[in-house]
């Protein structure tokens, strides 16, 4: 049972591997800066996870870390993995720890917002005039489907996996997507492969039923995954909320992430279970570790998503505005600019902007 939040927000921090510790430290500093403006306090509880946990205890998701995660208000994760642990048995690799964490939390809804501002549009793989103003949200089912379905088998001569969904699993993720759309522009695009896959036919039927029963005010359309991938590239601004299954969501969210020009600016949240989990989309980038060149924007914005989820939308909005203002002022890390600033310099700039943004006094 998560603790009472009347005094402070109890956050378990899993810095992880590579640049994970650097970007989570930046996120903590920025969250503290925003918290000071709105009298929000934090109770930070750091634990090992991923490759560093393998080195420490022989397991990517130690029992002590598991217990801590289940007792927190929220979890802030940095990044995991790296070549150092490539030779570890599959069931003990850092990535297995991440799948186990999601399963333990039952965090079945992965939210990946992709926003492309005019400031960063020139960095996209697409022409700036096509991508500027993109504001889409991928809602990915995270704890079912082919990544978890049974039976599965691997031999040197044959291998198979099972893509399995129940109506309950589809119902709950669909409701998350429709609720998100209500708070945005009111449109859900449900992505499947119903012309081929039985699981996708059930997916389409169930999403349609949930829509008809409870969300007729939200616009719904269905799209095959191959067409969706093409349309994300062709006209990304046409999408609002994209709802899809685990495998398709993995692919489409990674594809959509290229629109922003850098994985370093994209946050994510995994919700719906015991404890919400927030993490940047990017990997551990071990080649950048310790060089002060990591882009902390994705981790900082993940912290903003965390604050919004636990009821501090004002602090979250303050962070987002400060990040936008900092980038617009030309302060960017080296993945975004040839004259890039360091991780710590960017973080300091965001904190300084937060300290000086006028905010309206609270009226009681």
User: Which has the closest alpha carbon to 293: 350, 337, 349?
Assistant: 337
| CB of 278 closer than 8 Å to CB of 77 | yes
Q: Which two tokens stand for residue 253?
A: 């969210």
Among 231, 262, 293, residue at a domain's last position: 262
| CB of 98 closer than 8 Å to CB of 14 | no
Q: Are residues 40 and 171 in the same domain?
A: no
What's the total number of domains in the chain?
2
Q: Are residues 120 and 226 in the same domain?
A: yes
Instruction: Identify whether 14 is part of a domain.
Output: yes
Instruction: Identify whether 36 is part of a domain.
Output: yes
* Residue 207, domain extent: 109-262
Q: Are residues 158 and 278 in the same domain?
A: no
List CB contacts of 96: < 8 A, sequence separation 6 or more: 60, 61, 90
Q: pTM score, two decimals?
A: 0.91
User: Which has the closest alpha carbon to 28: 74, 80, 76, 79?
Assistant: 76
Among 206, 236, 262, residue at a domain's last position: 262
DSSP 362: P
Q: Are residues 249 and 309 in the same domain?
A: no
- Cα separation, 35 vs 136, in Å, equals 28
Omega cis (within 30) before 107: no
Indicate if 254 belongs to the active site.
yes
| CB of 281 closer than 8 Å to CB of 112 | yes
User: Which has the closest alpha carbon to 12: 86, 96, 100, 77?
Assistant: 77
DSSP 330: T
Q: Are residues 241 and 289 in the same domain?
A: no
Of these residues, 254, 309, 324, 325, which one is catalytic?
A: 254
pLDDT at residue 172, rounded to an integer: 97
Indicate if 4 belongs to the active site.
no
- Cα separation, 317 vs 272, in Å, equals 22
Q: Are residues 189 and 326 in the same domain?
A: no
- CA atoms 19, 20, 25, 28: torsion sign: positive
Of these residues, 115, 192, 193, 335, which one is catalytic?
A: 193
Q: Are residues 76 and 181 in the same domain?
A: no
pLDDT at residue 148, rounded to an integer: 87
pLDDT at residue 304, rounded to an integer: 98
Q: Are residues 101 and 152 in the same domain?
A: no
Instruction: Identify whether 71 is part of a domain.
Output: yes
Q: Are residues 254 and 121 in the same domain?
A: yes
Q: What single string gives the DSSP state of each residue in 84-132?
A: GGTTS-GGGSHHHHHHHHHHHHT--EEEEEEE--TTTGGGSSS-HHHHT
CA 268 vs CA 112, 155, 156, 209, 231: distances in Å: 5, 35, 36, 28, 22
Mean pLDDT over the full length of the chain: 94
Phi/psi of residue 93, nearest 5 degrees: -75, 160
Instruction: Identify whether 267 is part of a domain.
Output: no
Instruction: Identify whether 158 is part of a domain.
Output: yes
Provide Rg for the chain, Cα atoms.
Answer: 20
Q: Which two tokens stand for residue 275?
A: 């404890």
Of these residues, 17, 250, 335, 348, which one is catalytic?
A: 250
Q: Are residues 94 and 118 in the same domain?
A: no
Indicate if 325 belongs to the active site.
no
CB atoms within 10 A of CB 152: 12
Instruction: Identify whether 268 is part of a domain.
Output: no
pLDDT at residue 262, rounded to an integer: 83
CA 291 vs CA 105, 155, 287, 343: distances in Å: 33, 42, 9, 9
Q: Are residues 70 and 127 in the same domain?
A: no
pLDDT at residue 363, rounded to an integer: 44
Q: Are residues 123 and 258 in the same domain?
A: yes
Across the chain, which has 364 residues, the per-10-residue mean pLDDT values are 66 98 98 97 98 96 97 97 91 92 93 93 91 96 92 94 96 98 97 97 98 98 98 96 96 91 90 95 92 95 97 96 95 89 97 92 50
Instruction: Identify whether 297 is part of a domain.
Output: yes
| CB of 250 closer than 8 Å to CB of 229 | no
Among 199, 232, 262, residue at a domain's last position: 262
Question: Which CATH number does the domain housing residue 363 bear?
Answer: 3.40.718.10
Indicate if 45 belongs to the active site.
no
Indicate if 147 belongs to the active site.
yes
Alpha-carbon dihedral 26, 27, 33, 39, rounded to 10 degrees: -150
Of these residues, 55, 217, 226, 235, which one is catalytic?
A: 226
Of these residues, 17, 25, 115, 147, which one is catalytic?
A: 147
Instruction: Identify whether 349 is part of a domain.
Output: yes
User: Which has the closest alpha carbon to 61: 16, 109, 24?
Assistant: 16
């Amino acid at each position: 049972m998560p603790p009472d939040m009347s005094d402070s927000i109890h956050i378990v921090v899993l810095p992880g591997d590579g640049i994970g510790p650097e970007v989570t430290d930046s996120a903590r500093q920025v969250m503290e800066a925003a918290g000071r403006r709105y009298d929000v306090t934090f109770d930070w509880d750091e634990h090992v996870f991923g490759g560093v946990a393998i080195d420490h205890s022989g397991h990517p998701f130690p029992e002590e870390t598991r217990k801590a995660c289940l007792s927190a208000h929220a979890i802030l994760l940095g990044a995991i993995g790296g070549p150092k642990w490539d030779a570890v048995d599959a069931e003990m690799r850092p990535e297995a720890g991440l799948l186990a964490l999601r399963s333990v939390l039952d965090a079945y809804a992965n939210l990946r917002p992709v926003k492309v501002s005019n400031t960063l549009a020139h960095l996209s793989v697409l022409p700036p005039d096509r991508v500027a103003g993109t504001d889409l949200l991928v809602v990915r089912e995270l704890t079912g489907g082919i990544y978890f379905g049974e039976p599965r088998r691997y031999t040197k001569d044959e291998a198979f996996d099972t893509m399995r969904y129940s109506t309950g699993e589809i119902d709950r993720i669909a409701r998350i997507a429709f609720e998100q759309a209500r708070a945005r522009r009111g449109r859900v695009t449900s992505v499947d492969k119903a012309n081929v896959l039985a699981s996708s036919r059930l997916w389409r039927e169930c999403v349609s039923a949930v829509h008809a029963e409870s969300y007729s005010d939200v616009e719904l359309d269905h799209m095959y995954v191959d067409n969706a991938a093409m349309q994300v590239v062709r006209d990304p601004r046409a999408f609002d909320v994209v709802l899809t299954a685990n495998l398709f969501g993995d692919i489409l969210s990674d594809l959509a992430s290229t629109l922003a020009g850098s994985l370093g600016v994209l946050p994510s949240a995994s919700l719906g279970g015991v404890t919400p989990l927030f993490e940047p989309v990017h990997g551990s980038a071990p080649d950048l570790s310790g060089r002060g060149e990591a882009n902390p924007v994705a981790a900082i914005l993940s912290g903003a998503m965390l604050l919004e989820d636990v009821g501090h939308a004002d602090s979250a909005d303050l962070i987002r505005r400060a990040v936008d203002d900092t980038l617009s002022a030309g302060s960017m890390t080296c993945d975004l600019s040839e004259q890039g600033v360091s991780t710590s310099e960017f973080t300091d700039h965001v904190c300084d902007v937060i300290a000086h943004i006028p905010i309206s006094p609270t009226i009681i």
